[in-house]
Structure 1
Amino acid sequence: MHNGRFHKMHGLGNDFVIVDAREEAFAPSPAQAAAIADRKHGIGCDQLIILSPSSIADLSMRIVNADGSDAQACGNATRCVVALIGRHVRIETVAGILEGRADDLPEVAMGQPHFDWEAIPLAYAVDPTDMPIGHGALERPMAVNVGNPHAVFFVDDVQAIDLETLGPQIEHDALFPERVNVNVAATRDDGGLDLRVWERGAGLTLACGSGACATAVAAIRKGLARSPVAVHLPGGVLTIAWTEGEAVRMTGPATYVFEGRTDWNRFG
């Protein structure tokens, strides 16, 4: 049984319970993970992060959403793990090996984005740059996979969108067989982007690192922004750099909140 030690961290308010299980195994069920993430009866977090040994990298990272489902990638969590380890580190994830360095503002390389409809994935062949779907005020998004699937909608005013209602509708649209993260973005006069995200399996978050990456990539591809892009989220600003054919690089803060210890058995 794992010793019950955990770290609480956040990236711009996107918060995590991080369990270092490299020496003592920790494999909670989906129901246990959801109980840990519960903000009223558990520890509370957007995602539970489990670190374990890796034969191909410095360590392996499992990402579990607040609803108990597994996620392939999370940029804010990756940045927090890099800051926790405190050095250059290679991290094995379901989405591939990610690399980061622990500077004053940790930077992580999130891999190359994918634009093919099968890689996103979509349920059938359709142009991912201008998809023929719409929900309320949101229509014709661009889809991109940055380790996990994202739909990016460009609008005039991100605050005018009822994302709490539209987010879950789009997340579960039949076009997305693995569900999708929903990004609503607007260009700024200073060349940056405003962004709000409905995160698959977690809901509205103060920040989403992979969403910032996906949205910046989509904006650069559409000629709406130039690299590097300052992406303004409710929790703060992330800087995203990307050149066609290269990995997306994300820089931003990672905050250590506290260390705790608990009895995992209490979560079922």
Structure 2
Amino acid sequence: MHAHGDDFVVIDMRGKIDLITSEVARRLGDRNRGIGFNQLAVILDCDDAAARLRFWNPNGSVLDTCGSATRGVADMLMREANSSTIVLRTNRGLLTCTRESEQCVSVDMGRPLLHWQDIPLTEEVDTNALSLPGSPTACSMGNPHCTFFVEELASVDVATIGPKIENHPLFGNKTNVHFVEVVDRSHIRLRIWERGGGIPLGSGSCSCGAVVGGIRRGLLDDTVEVQCDGGPVKVHWDGVGSVFLTGPVEAVFCGTVAV
């Protein structure tokens, strides 16, 4: 499946033994020898929600949340249950998803974590203006995010700067890196270096992290269209409560793979 070009593989392991390991995730994530994805979502049985989701990066590392894949799984399971709403459990907690239209799904991504220890950072700093060149913001949406605001997005060398920031000693668990050009108070352009993944066409959780940073800086209103390379999503945050991510999802193909 994909969401504005942010592609992910969904494996349904409900009622089965979970066979997905770091090695299996790496093999499946290889775009030349496997399937290829930005994230892998594994659907597991759950006692207090419709399903529990576990997420993997293509390098075999685990992540706690993925907004695009969560919406994709929600789309699948809502169709299965003939329902317009569903609750899924991730390491981020219980996330409520709602169908907005035939191909459009919204997810309550929970409150952003803004304290330096919760992101986590390795030292106490102002998370609204980090002590790095460019004074980026930082937050966590379950995964760490670092957001730079730039005048001209086209001039940013994402492939060079991104991995340097991802691996900076300030970020104990590494970080996603965003580069944002503010078009107006309700519209931004976003390019991303994804922790453990490289440059994607889009990312739901990164879109959320970028908007949170812009609202904290006073640059954005509470509802923002985020234009990624792969297309737009909408993010809403009132500055206090949950962040809501809304956008299209689409199934591309189904199949069976030997692991």
Normalising by structure 2, report the TM-score: 0.95
* Alpha-carbon distance, 1:89 to partner: 1.4
Residue type at the aligned position of 2:92: A
Aligned residues: 252
Letter in 2 for 1:91: L
Report deviation, 1:189: 3.9
Of the structure 1 ranges 235-244 and 95-104, higher mean CA displacement relative to structure 2 is found in: 95-104
Alignment match, 2:58: 66
For residue 123 of structure 1, what is the amino acid of its counterpart?
Answer: T
Q: Does 1:241 align with 2:228?
A: no
Residue 200 in 1 paired to residue 195 in 2? yes
Q: How does 1:218-237 map to 2 (within 5 A)?
A: 218-237=213-232
- Letter in structure 2 aligned against 1:157: E
Q: After superposition, what is the alpha-carbon deviation per residue over 1:78-103, rounded to whole angstroms, capped at 9, x for unaligned? A: 11111111231111111111110123
What is the CA–CA distance in structure 2 between the aligned matches of 1:91 and 1:200, rounded to whole Å? 23
- 3-state SS in 2 of match to 1:176: coil
The residue type equivalent to 2:86 in the other structure is V
Which residue of structure 1 aligns with residue 113 of structure 2? 114
Structure ranking higher on relative contact order (CA contacts 8 Å, 6+ apart): 1
Is contact 1:25–1:52 with CA below 8 Å preserved after alignment? Answer: no
* Aligned match of 1:6: none
Aligned to 1:77: 69
Distance (Å, rounded) in 1 between the aligned partners of 2:59 and 2:13 = 21
Find out whether 1:97 has 2:94 as its counterpart.
Answer: yes
Cross-structure match for 1:215:
210
Is the CA contact 2:108–2:245 (under 8 Å) kept in the aligned structure 1?
Answer: yes
Which amino acid is the alignment partner of residue 246 of structure 1?
Answer: G
Per-residue CA distance 1:77-131 (angstroms, 9 max, x = gap): 1111111112311111111111101232100000001110000100011111111
Residue in 2 that maps onto 1:53: 45
Greater alpha carbon shift after TM alignment, 99-108 vs 231-240: 99-108
Gaps of 5+ in 2: none
RMSD: 1.1
| SS class of match (2:251) | strand
Segments of structure 1 that go 5 or more residues without pairing to the other structure are 1-8
C-alpha distance in 2, partners of 1:156/1:189?
12
CA contact (8 A) 2:184 2:220 kept: no
> Are the equivalent residues in 2 in contact too, given 1:114–1:146 (CA < 8 A)?
yes
The whole-number CA distance in structure 2 between the counterparts of 1:84 and 1:77 is 11
Out of 19, 23, 34, which is 2:11 matched to? Answer: 19
Q: Corresponding residue for 2:130? A: 131
What residue number does 2:173 align with? 178
Q: How many percent identity over aligned positions?
A: 35
Letter of the aligned partner of 2:239 in structure 1?
E
- Tell me, in whole angstroms, the C-alpha distance in 2 between the residues paired with 1:191 and 1:78: 24
State the 4+ residue runs in structure 1 displaced beyond 6 angstroms: none
Q: CA deviation at 1:31?
A: 1.6
